[in-house]
C-alpha cells in the first residue's frame, strides 16, 4: 500500500519520534511531589469529575447509578464532547493544588470550550455551581438536574457559555483563548490565567500568532498567563499538526515564541499525576519568581515565561477499543464516546460498567455530595477559580474618569466657515482619558494609531513594547515597556486583548481602518452573542462596551485601483 510505504519513509527520513501517549510517561520535571495519600485522593477527585462528565453527556435520571442503568435514564438525544474533558479536568485539579499552596488569585480559560464538562464538573465539585444555581444542589436531586440540563432543551449549551460561572470564554469559534487570557491579566498584577489551549485550536491563525502576546506583558503591572497546550492528538476527524511533528520541532516552536516549555506526556494515572503536580508547581514558582524580581527591582524585562505541553489520550479513561475500533486515544472519542447506548444493550452495559469503574459510591456520600476528604482538595471559599470575580467582570467595572466631552467642542462661530480636524481633536479627549485612567483604560490597534491621527495620546502614555530596543527608537518611536497603547499587526490579537480586558472589568477602545476591520467580523459577532446572552443571566453584571473606532471607508480599499489616501493605506 502506497501510504504504508510512504509512512515508513516519513519515519525514516525525519527521525521523528511519534509520541504515542501509550509509551512510558515522560516529563521534563522528574519529581514525586505527591504523597501516597495525596495521589490517591487526586485520582479519586479526578474520577469524580470524570463521572460527572459522563453523567452530563448521558443521564437524565438515576444520577448515581444506584439503580441498574436503563435506557429510560438516558437522554433521548446525545450531544456533547468527551474528547478533551479528562485533560482539562486533570489540568484544573492540579492547578487547584497550586491555588491552595501558594494562595493564588487565578481563573481558567478553556480554549476547547466545547469540552465544557471537564471544567463544569469541577465547578460543581467545588460547590460554586450549586451556590450560583441552588436547584443544582449538592445532593442526588440537584445532581440529577445538573446532569439533565446539560445540552438539553431549556438547559445549558455544551460549551463554556455565559450561564457557566467561572467562564469568560465560550470556546465555540476557536483561536482566542490566549488573547482573551492576556487581555484579562493586563493591569491585574496578582492574577494568573490558567489557559488551556487545544491542539485543534492551535492550528488556527489567531491562536498561532497570539503566543507573541508575551512581548506586550509587563511583569510589574500585569499578571501572568500559564498556557497548557493540551495535545490530545485529534480534532473531529483528523490528527492535529502539533501532536505529530517531532518533539524537537515542537519544543523549538514554543521556545521560538518566547516561552519555556515543560512536557508532561503519558496515560498512566499515577505517573501522570506526579508528573503534572511537579510541573505545575515548577511553573508557578517560576512565574512568582519572575514577578518578584521585576517588582522588587522596578525593572521591566521579558521573562521566558513557562508553559506546559500536556500529551494525554483523547477521551482519556474511556475504553481503548469498542467493537474493534479505537476509542480512547483516537478521534472517535471527540464527541459522544458510545453512540448507540439507546439502541444497543451491550453498549449500554459498557457505559454502566465504565461509569461504575470510577466507583461513584465511594466518591459521593449517601445524600449525593462529594465526600469531605475529597472536597478538601478544592481551594477554600473565596479562592476557587470558578468564583474569581474576573470571570464576572462587570462586578469589578469602575466608571471611567471622564471630563464632559463638550470640553473638547470645536468652536463654530458661523456656519460653513470654521474648520478643524476631527481625529486630532478627538485625540486630545482620548489623551485626557488615558491620563486620568492609568490602570483602567487601554487603547488598541493593529498599527494605525499614528496614521489615524491619534498620536496626541503619546503625550499621556507610549505604546507598550517588552521586546528588543534600538537607538533609533528614541527618534519618535513612542514605545516603552510601561506603555498602554497596544499595537501588533494582528487584528485578531488586539480584538482578543480588548475583549478580555473589558470582560474582566475594564475599558478600552480599538482603532482601525474600516477596509480591514472585516478581518474580525466573526470575532465581533461572537463577542456580541456572548454579551447578548450575558444580559439574560441574572447574576452576570454588565461589562463596558466594546468600542471600535473605524476610519476611512471600506470602499476605498475596494477601489484602490486609481488613487488612494495615504492615511488609509498600509
Give the nearest distance from C-beta 378 to its own copies in angstroms.
28
Nearer to its own copies, 411 or 521 (CB): 521
According to CB under 8 A, which residues from 529 to 548 bind its own copies?
529, 533
- Pick between residue 37 and residue 472 the one whose CB is nearest to its own copies: 472
Interface with its own copies, residue 561, by CB under 8 A: yes
Which member of 41, 100, 145, 215 binds its own copies (CB under 8 A)? 215
If binding is defined by CB under 8 A, does position 32 make contact with its own copies?
no
Q: Is 191 helix (H, G, I), strand (E, B) or coil?
A: strand
β-partners of residue 303 are none
CA distance 260 to 365: 42
Q: How far apart are CA 210 and CA 202, in angstroms?
A: 10
Residue 252 is a binding residue for its own copies (CB under 8 A): yes
- Least Å distance, CB 304 to its own copies, is 8
For residue 206, the minimal CB distance to its own copies (Å) is 4
Q: Which is nearer to its own copies, 284 or 485 (CB)?
A: 485
Quote the least distance from Cβ 301 to its own copies, whole Å: 4
296 binds its own copies (CB under 8 A): no
Please state the closest distance from residue 261 (CB atom) to its own copies, in A.
Answer: 10
CA distances from residue 247 to 7, 21, 262, 305, 312 in whole angstroms, order as listed: 18, 13, 12, 19, 15
| Rounded CA separation 56/6 (Å) | 42
Smallest separation (angstroms) from its own copies to the CB of 89: 20
Buried b (16+ CB within 10 A) or exposed e, 441-463: bbbbbbebbbbbbbbbbbebbbb
- Taking the complex as a whole, the smallest distance from the CB of residue 256 to its own copies amounts, in Å, to 3
Among 255, 361, 403, 459, binds its own copies (CB under 8 A): 255
Q: Is 470 in the site for its own copies (CB under 8 A)?
A: yes
Closest approach, Cβ 267 to its own copies, in A, equals 13
Stretch that binds its own copies, among 267-275, 357-365, 389-397, 475-483 (CB under 8 A): 475-483
How far apart (Å, rounded) are the C-alpha atoms in residues 399 and 496? 22
DSSP-based helix, strand, coil % in the chain, nearest 5: 45, 15, 45
Report CA-CA distances (Å) from 370 to 238, 367, 426: 37, 9, 57
What's the min distance (Å) between Cβ of 19 and its own copies? 8
Per rule CB under 8 A, is residue 429 in the interface with its own copies? Answer: no
**DSSP track, 331-356:** GGGSS-SS--TTT-HHHHHHHHHHHH
CB of 298 to its own copies, least distance (A): 8
Radius of gyration, CA atoms only, the chain = 25
Regarding 221 and contact with its own copies (CB under 8 A), the answer is: no
Nearer to its own copies, 191 or 478 (CB): 478
Least spacing, CB of residue 94 vs its own copies, in Å: 26
- Length in residues, the chain: 570
Among 50, 64, 184, 208, binds its own copies (CB under 8 A): 208
| Contact in structure between 186 and 217 (CB atoms under 8 Å) | yes
- Residue carrying C-alpha cell 444506584: 66
Q: Tell me whether residue 195 or residue 274 sits nearer to its own copies (CB atom).
A: 195
Among 482, 514, 547, 550, contact with its own copies (rule: CB under 8 A):
482
Rounded distance, CA 30 to CA 23, Å?
16
Q: Which is nearer to its own copies, 199 or 432 (CB)?
A: 199
CB 530 within 8 A of CB 162: yes
414 lines the binding site for its own copies (CB under 8 A): no
Give Cα separations from 512 to 43, 160, 205, 341, 465 (angstroms): 50, 30, 19, 52, 19
Minimal distance, residue 105 CB to its own copies, in Å: 25
Tell me whether residue 246 is exposed, middle or buried, using C-beta atoms within 10 angstroms of its C-beta: 0 to 12, 13 to 18, 19 or more. middle
**Residue choice 365, 473, 514, 547 for contact with its own copies (CB under 8 A):** 473
Chain positions 315 to 374 lying near its own copies, rule: CB under 8 A, are 325-326, 329-332, 335-336
Q: How far is the CB of 410 from its own copies (least distance, A)?
A: 26
Nearest CA-CA partner of 232 in 159, 162, 304, 331: 331
Q: How far is CA 469 from CA 162, 273, 350, 485, in A?
A: 41, 42, 61, 17
Q: Should residue 156 be labelled a site residue for its own copies when binding is judged by CB under 8 A? A: yes
CA separation for the pair 194, 332 (Å, rounded): 27
- Binding residue for its own copies, selected from 70, 236, 412, 424, defined by CB under 8 A: 236
Binders in 66-105 for its own copies, by CB under 8 A: 77-79, 81
Taking CB under 8 A as the criterion, the residue among 38, 105, 131, 447 binding its own copies is 447
CB closer to its own copies, 299 vs 362: 299
Q: 332 or 507: whose CB is closer to its own copies?
A: 332
- CA–CA distances in Å: residue 475 to residues 462, 471, 479: 13, 8, 10
**In contact, 29 and 273? CB cutoff 8 Å:** no
Enumerate residues 158-177 that contact its own copies by CB under 8 A.
158-159, 161, 163, 172-175
Q: Which of 40, 71, 205, 292 binds its own copies (CB under 8 A)?
A: 205
Amino acid at each position: 500500500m502506497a501510504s504504508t510505504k510512504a509512512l515508513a519513509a516519513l519515519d525514516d527520513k525525519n527521525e521523528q519520534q511519534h509520541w504515542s501517549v501509550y509509551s512510558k510517561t515522560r516529563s521534563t520535571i522528574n519529581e514525586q511531589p505527591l504523597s501516597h495519600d495525596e495521589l490517591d485522593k487526586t485520582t479519586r477527585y479526578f474520577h469524580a469529575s470524570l463521572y460527572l462528565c459522563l453523567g452530563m453527556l448521558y443521564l437524565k435520571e438515576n444520577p448515581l447509578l444506584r439503580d441498574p442503568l436503563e435506557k429510560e435514564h438516558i437522554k433521548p438525544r446525545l450531544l456533547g464532547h468527551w474528547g478533551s474533558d479528562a485533560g482539562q479536568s486533570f489540568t484544573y485539579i492540579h492547578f487547584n493544588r497550586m491555588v491552595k499552596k501558594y494562595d493564588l488569585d487565578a481563573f481558567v480559560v478553556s480554549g476547547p470550550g466545547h469540552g465544557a464538562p471537564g471544567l463544569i464538573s469541577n465547578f460543581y465539585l467545588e460547590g460554586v455551581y450549586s451556590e450560583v444555581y441552588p436547584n443544582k444542589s449538592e445532593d442526588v436531586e440537584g445532581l440529577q438536574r445538573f446532569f439533565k440540563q446539560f445540552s438539553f432543551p431549556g438547559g445549558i449549551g455544551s460549551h463554556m457559555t455565559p450561564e457557566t460561572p467561572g467562564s469568560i470564554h465560550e470556546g465555540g469559534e476557536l483561536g482566542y483563548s490566549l488573547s482573551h487570557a492576556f487581555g484579562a491579566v493586563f493591569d491585574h498584577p496578582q492574577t494568573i490565567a490558567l489557559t488551556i489551549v487545544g491542539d485543534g485550536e492551535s492550528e488556527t491563525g489567531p491562536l498561532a500568532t497570539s503566543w507573541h502576546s508575551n512581548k506586550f506583558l509587563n511583569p510589574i503591572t500585569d499578571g501572568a498567563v500559564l498556557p497548557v497546550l493540551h495535545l490530545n492528538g485529534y480534532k473531529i476527524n483528523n490528527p492535529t499538526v502539533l501532536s505529530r511533528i517531532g518533539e524537537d520541532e515542537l519544543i523549538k516552536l514554543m521556545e521560538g515564541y518566547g516561552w519555556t516549555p515543560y512536557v508532561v506526556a503519558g496515560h498512566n494515572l499515577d505517573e501522570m499525576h506526579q508528573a503534572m503536580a511537579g510541573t505545575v508547581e515548577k511553573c508557578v514558582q517560576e512565574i512568582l519568581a519572575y514577578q518578584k524580581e521585576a517588582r522588587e527591582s522596578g525593572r521591566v524585562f521579558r521573562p521566558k515565561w513557562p508553559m506546559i505541553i500536556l500529551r494525554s489520550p483523547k477521551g482519556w479513561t474511556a475504553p481503548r477499543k469498542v467493537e474493534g475500533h479505537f476509542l480512547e486515544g483516537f478521534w472517535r472519542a471527540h464527541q459522544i464516546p458510545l453512540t448507540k447506548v439507546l439502541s444497543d444493550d451491550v453498549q449500554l452495559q459498557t457505559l454502566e460498567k465504565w461509569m461504575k469503574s470510577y466507583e461513584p459510591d465511594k466518591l459521593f456520600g449517601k445524600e449525593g455530595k462529594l465526600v469531605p476528604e475529597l472536597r478538601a482538595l478544592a481551594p477554600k471559599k473565596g479562592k476557587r477559580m470558578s468564583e474569581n470575580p474576573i470571570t464576572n467582570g462587570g462586578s469589578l467595572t469602575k466608571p471611567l474618569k471622564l471630563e464632559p466631552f463638550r470640553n473638547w467642542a470645536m468652536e463654530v462661530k458661523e456656519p460653513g466657515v470654521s474648520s478643524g480636524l476631527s481625529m486630532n481633536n478627538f485625540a486630545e479627549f482620548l489623551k485626557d482619558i488615558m491620563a486620568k485612567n492609568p490602570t483602567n483604560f487601554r487603547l488598541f490597534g493593529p498599527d494605525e494609531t499614528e496614521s489615524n491621527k491619534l498620536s496626541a495620546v503619546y503625550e499621556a502614555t507610549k505604546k507598550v513594547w517588552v521586546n528588543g530596543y534600538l537607538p533609533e527608537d528614541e527618534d519618535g518611536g513612542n514605545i516603552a515597556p510601561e506603555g498602554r497603547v497596544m499595537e501588533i499587526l494582528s487584528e485578531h490579537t488586539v480584538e482578543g486583548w480588548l475583549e478580555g480586558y473589558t470582560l474582566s472589568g475594564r475599558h478600552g477602545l480599538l482603532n482601525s481602518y474600516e477596509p480591514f476591520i472585516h478581518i474580525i467580523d466573526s470575532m465581533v459577532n461572537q463577542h456580541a452573542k456572548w454579551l447578548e446572552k450575558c444580559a439574560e443571566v441574572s447574576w452576570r453584571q454588565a461589562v463596558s462596551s466594546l468600542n471600535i473606532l473605524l476610519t476611512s471607508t471600506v470602499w476605498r480599499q475596494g477601489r484602490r485601483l486609481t488613487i488612494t489616501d495615504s492615511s488609509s493605506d498600509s
